[in-house]
A and B are shown apart, each in its own frame.
Chain A
Amino acid sequence: MQLLHHVGADEKVLPIFCDRGFPYDDEMDTKLRAVSRFEANLLRLLGFFLRREPPERALPLLENQCSAPPCLQRSAVELIRDALGKGCVQLLARGGGWRRERFLRQGRAVEGRLWERTAPHELGLTFSAHTMRFLIWITANRPDGANRPWRASHDDLTLGDLLLLYFAHDGLCKLRPGLNATKLLGEEPFVRHALCWLAHPGDYSLAPSSVRPNFAPWTNGVGACILEALQPELERRWIAVESSKARLADPQVMLALGAAQERGLTAFLDAIEREGRMDLARFLLRSSAALLGPNARPEMWTERLHLAGWRLADRAAIYRAATTFLRTMDRFQSWERRARGIGYLDDEYAASQLWKADWEQVQGDILTERARAIVKQLDPIQEA
């Protein structure tokens, strides 16, 4: 740890503790940069989004508004650029990029760490002015305030912008219930941000039915590489979301969560199936292996639900929502059955072999049987 002093425009000394080497490179370590209070707040929030600052430090900054200056100093912009470049890459590398995994590259299965599967120079991320605008807005405004939330068209954002917004979304979720950013998350680009849909489906239970998550950037090229690196994180998230269903008592909340999961999963699975990248759904298979152990039973999804007085039709809909994830196993099994019929000379051979290997590793057929048994037990006719 090292203590750096940021001198604000009002000449006050603002001490900031940072991990070694972040967000400053070696050259910067020897040359302390002076930034204003606003810029220091912005850098600290960026550090929080990049998981370098604890929520306790970010919350006061988000709660207390700070007027934005007309422009940022060059030194601050350089620090932001440095933090983004190193922080995002470091998160992806630590999150799952370091793992030796097998994923598809140009129709072939390639094994190794992320930077071994794809050459590092092909993994570059670009950040546009939208990232800077978002950081300035969130430093100057309360995300749950009455002000008009920050907006940008999803299609105008680069992969770097989208990745930072994913980390920002994740950070804002950690600040609940102290800070409720529902209004911000209900606007473009968050409302169509496919990674956010995958990681936090519950946040999209109020999304208009016309809105669909856009998985196009994440199923090929660098976007798919990012999704590969985030597999362990997404696996943990799905296990957490599914496990939380046992504690849900309000049927309306379960219905909304199930509907959001259904929309997110359907869009995701359709997109990767179109691209022949079923290997990107590996995190769902691994989540199912963790959730569908030998002792898995319906109560793990419905234990606290209060359904007294509800119609049978409504109960069936609620159970259907509770088992959205379990019912996905049927689709995975259909992929495996189809993969069995694909021959060595077919184009999809490598993809199908990889899916079969993933399926066998988690004993997919057994998991599907368990999932079906649970869904069947929650069928009102079977319950009768």
Chain B
Amino acid sequence: MSRSYLVSVRDCQTRTVCAEDHVQTSLEILEVLPPEQMAGLLADELERRGFQRGGGRLTRAQNGVTITVDPATATVVVAAQDSERATIEAERSDRAYDDIGPHAKVVRDNLKKQLEKDIDRKANEKTKGLQTKVTDRLERELVEVRQELDRVVNRVTAEALKRKAAQMGQIKAITEDPETGSLTLVVEV
């Protein structure tokens, strides 16, 4: 009568899982002034709001999200990324006809291969979980970013209109309504 042996293999790996997400859009900047002047006004307004200049772009990080604006093209990239170290454990067992013989070796090798796949699968699940968190964070932050960008565009347009009006004649009166964003200029030509 033959006996079977239980072969058990366990593995524990520490992996770094990363997730990234981003959206890109263009600001609708009216061409009130020549493009380079509009880009200058946009850059000034962004700087006033805490954006840092670097390599022709302006960047600001907030709540785990990075906002990058290229004033020359009025392109905005809002990106979020995260990474974490994850300890992943897996265990597999099977039966062999011997305990240290050739069959046990074959079984052990097969188990190791399966174990590697299990760890990869678990790592993928962790990555997916982290990806969901990153995407959710970006989505939450986008609401605020959009509102702020709308305000930036309004400010830039208002400033450009003032400069344009000053070029046309003497500004007699300026009325701004921050609530509605309306701007009334009285110019004497």
> What residues of chain A have their CB less than 8 Å away from a CB belonging to chain B?
309, 311-313, 316, 379-382, 384
Selected from A311, A379, A381, A382, the residue in CB contact (under 8 A) with B135 is A311
Beta-carbon contact of B21 and A384 below 8 Å: no
8 further contact pairs, Cβ within 8 A, besides A381-B146, A381-B149: A309-B128, A311-B135, A312-B23, A312-B139, A316-B23, A380-B23, A380-B142, A384-B146
> What residues of chain B have their CB less than 8 Å away from a CB belonging to chain A?
21-25, 76, 78, 128, 131-132, 135, 138-139, 142-143, 145-146, 149
Chain A residues within an 8 Å CB radius of B24: 316
Beta-carbon contact of B138 and A381 below 8 Å: no
Asked if A312 meets B25 with Cβ closer than 8 Å, knowing A382-B146, A384-B146, the reply is: no
Chain A residues within an 8 Å CB radius of B145: 381, 384
Selected from B76, B135, B146, B149, the residue in CB contact (under 8 A) with A312 is B135
Asked if A379 meets B25 with Cβ closer than 8 Å, knowing A309-B132, A311-B131, A311-B135, the reply is: yes
Which secondary structure dominates chain B's binding surface?
Answer: helix
Bound CA span A309–B136, Å:
10
Bound CA span A312–B65, Å:
13
Can you list 26 residue pairs at the A/B interface with Cβ under 8 Å?
A309-B128, A309-B132, A311-B21, A311-B131, A311-B135, A312-B21, A312-B23, A312-B135, A312-B138, A312-B139, A313-B21, A313-B23, A316-B23, A379-B25, A380-B23, A380-B25, A380-B142, A381-B25, A381-B76, A381-B142, A381-B145, A382-B146, A384-B139, A384-B142, A384-B143, A384-B145
Bound CA span A313–B21, Å:
6
Chain B residues within an 8 Å CB radius of A381: 23, 25, 76, 78, 142, 145-146, 149
Chain A residues within an 8 Å CB radius of B142: 312, 380-381, 384
Bound CA span A384–B21, Å:
15
7 closest residue pairs by CB, A with B: A384-B142, A380-B23, A381-B25, A311-B21, A384-B143, A312-B23, A313-B22
Which secondary structure dominates chain A's binding surface?
Answer: helix
Bound CA span A270–B142, Å:
36
Bound CA span A91–B138, Å:
55
Bound CA span A282–B15, Å:
57
CB-based A-B contact count at 8 angstroms: 36
Bound CA span A384–B149, Å:
13
Chain A residues within an 8 Å CB radius of B76: 381
Chain B residues within an 8 Å CB radius of A316: 23-24
Residue in chain B with minimal CB distance to A372: B28
Chain B residues within an 8 Å CB radius of A311: 21, 131, 135
B63 to chain A, nearest CB (A): 14
B184 to chain A, nearest CB (A): 27
Residue in chain A with minimal CB distance to B27: A381
Bound CA span A316–B138, Å:
13
A349 to chain B, nearest CB (A): 27
B108 to chain A, nearest CB (A): 37
B150 to chain A, nearest CB (A): 10
Residue in chain A with minimal CB distance to B147: A384
Bound CA span A316–B145, Å:
17
Residue in chain B with minimal CB distance to A380: B23
Residue in chain B with minimal CB distance to A309: B132
A353 to chain B, nearest CB (A): 27
- Choose among B22, B76, B149 the residue with the greatest number of A CB atoms under 10 Å from its CB: B22
A303 to chain B, nearest CB (A): 21
Bound CA span A45–B135, Å:
54
B72 to chain A, nearest CB (A): 19
Bound CA span A311–B149, Å:
22
Bound CA span A291–B9, Å:
61
Bound CA span A312–B23, Å:
6
Asked if A312 meets B143 with Cβ closer than 8 Å, knowing A381-B76, A381-B78, the reply is: no
A202 to chain B, nearest CB (A): 27
Residue in chain B with minimal CB distance to A379: B25
Chain B residues within an 8 Å CB radius of A379: 25
Bound CA span A55–B142, Å:
52
Residue in chain B with minimal CB distance to A310: B135
Bound CA span A281–B138, Å:
40
Bound CA span A250–B80, Å:
26
Bound CA span A311–B132, Å:
8
A82 to chain B, nearest CB (A): 58
Asked if A312 meets B132 with Cβ closer than 8 Å, knowing A381-B145, A381-B146, A382-B146, the reply is: no
